[in-house]
Amino acid sequence: MNIFIARQPIFTKHKTLYAYELLYRGKKETSLPNDESGNKAAKNVLFSEFLAEGLESISDSRPCFISFTRDLLLQDIPAAFPKSQVIVEVHENVALTPDILAICRKLKDEGYTIALDGFVYDPGMEPFVRIADIVKMDYPTAPNKILRESMDRLSEHKVKLLAKKVHSYDDFAKANRMGFTYFQGYFFCQPEKNRKAEIDSSKVSLVRLLAEINSKTTTRQRVVEIIQGDVTLSYKILKYINSSYFYRLNKIDSVPHAIAYLGDVELRRFVILMLISSVGSDKPSEALRLALVRAKMVELLAKETELNNKADEIFLLGLFSLLSALLDTTMDKIAEQLSLSDQLKDCLVSKSGPYAPYLEVVTSYEKRDEIACLAAVKKIDVTPGTLHQFYMEAIKFTQSVLA
């Protein structure tokens, strides 16, 4: 895999997006980020991607946690980034020596936010804790006693606590009660209410409309009627068609013109996007954002393979992959109500069938699981070096849709 950059969301206690952590790796590097090759990989990615393209292209102008190795810290690389955009994360494998303390204090004095990763309290860390703004702690993998003791010690300092590896709403609730301020993990991808059998009554009409639009018998006229009968949809389609994603020179200012420009496939896709947005209106916005990234990325992957004629349907695979979390019910129940194709149903319900490797590429890329990602890439016969390009394009698409 040539360049590997992914982002992982970090939430507040109100489940709103606070920042992203940027996970990066350079060419053919699989080693830990504190050794020599890790430094080369990090430096390569930091300069070729973050500084060249700008952090906004991947972070959507959110603050970014970036983990810096010892070598990069001593070279004062963090100072090359705007202090308003970067949170300087000192990796847990970096030895907290006096020279590292000096560079962290310098960055702090210059206005940078300092985060300590993988924290377990030790008296020798006091000088670092005094200048830190955020302390990241493993949750729930750390023993409860050690976690409590560390938190008690940290209560004497003005630091905010970030819980890592929060992968369920139950973990989120417990970490919230313990006093954490920020939460990192994929809990927002899970159903929140113990997997109810039925879809919430307030969302039934939206799901029915989604099923209608997804049906093969849907006519263009029916899609147009739905858009023109909804002021919000009409407004959003004009915002969407005039976004930077389409590179239009002349503004489109009428719904009929927008509908004609998009064409049947893109028009249907747009309505599905907006309906899913409404379905997930009470969920963390990152769930919809991630679904859109997945949708565009699997579509781009499909266009490079023998299933290029199925790219539109594979787009729906990515988009529907988080419906279970958005609707707080089981995927098999959703599949019944949406009348999905056998290929979509097999992948979404049981992670099997010809579409499954496409979703596996994307979900393993999100989590930087390189072994699983490369295995899935091999199954669909796509060049690994294209993944970063597709991921960045998917992010750009998502930003345009949600603008």
pLDDT of residue 317 exceeding 90, the answer is: yes
pTM beyond 0.75, yes or no: yes
Task: Select the CATH number that applies to the domain covering 201-401 from these four: 1.20.1050.10, 3.10.310.30, 1.10.3210.10, 1.20.210.10.
Answer: 1.10.3210.10
* CATH topology classification for 4-189: TIM Barrel (3.20.20)
Secondary structure letter of residue 123 according to DSSP: G
| pLDDT band (50, 70, 90) for residue 139 | confident
Distance CA 20, CA 7 (A): 6
pLDDT of residue 34: 40
| pLDDT band (50, 70, 90) for residue 11 | very high
| pLDDT band (50, 70, 90) for residue 31 | very low
Cα 395–Cα 186–Cα 316 angle in degrees, nearest 5? 50
Give 35-61 pLDDT, tens digit per residue: 444 555 555 555 545 554 567 778 888
Q: Among 214-228, 262-276, 295-309, which range has the highest average pLDDT? A: 295-309
Distance CA 284, CA 276 (A): 13
pLDDT of residue 32 exceeding 60, the answer is: no
pLDDT of residue 33 exceeding 70, the answer is: no
Give 102-137 pLDDT, tens digit per residue: 999 999 999 999 999 987 778 888 899 999 999 999
- Residue 134, class by beta-carbon neighbours within 10 Å (0-12 exposed, 13-18 middle, 19+ buried)? buried
pLDDT of residue 259: 85
Residues forming a β-bridge with 9: 20
Structural domain boundaries of the chain? 4-189, 201-401
pLDDT of residue 163: 94
Strands 160-164, 134-138: parallel, antiparallel or unpaired by DSSP?
A: parallel
| pLDDT band (50, 70, 90) for residue 12 | very high
User: Residue 198 contacts by C-beta under 8 Å, 6 or more apart in sequence?
Assistant: 329, 333
Which one has a higher pLDDT value, 272 or 16? 16
pLDDT of residue 399 exceeding 60, the answer is: yes
Which of these, 399, 384, 393, 396, lies nearest to 4 by C-alpha position? 384
Q: Among 200-204, 254-258, 266-270, 351-355, which range has the highest average pLDDT? A: 351-355
* Mean pLDDT confidence for 297-321: 94
Average pLDDT, the chain: 84
Distance CA 327, CA 369 (A): 27
User: Three-state SS for 82?
Assistant: coil
Distance CA 359, CA 341 (A): 16
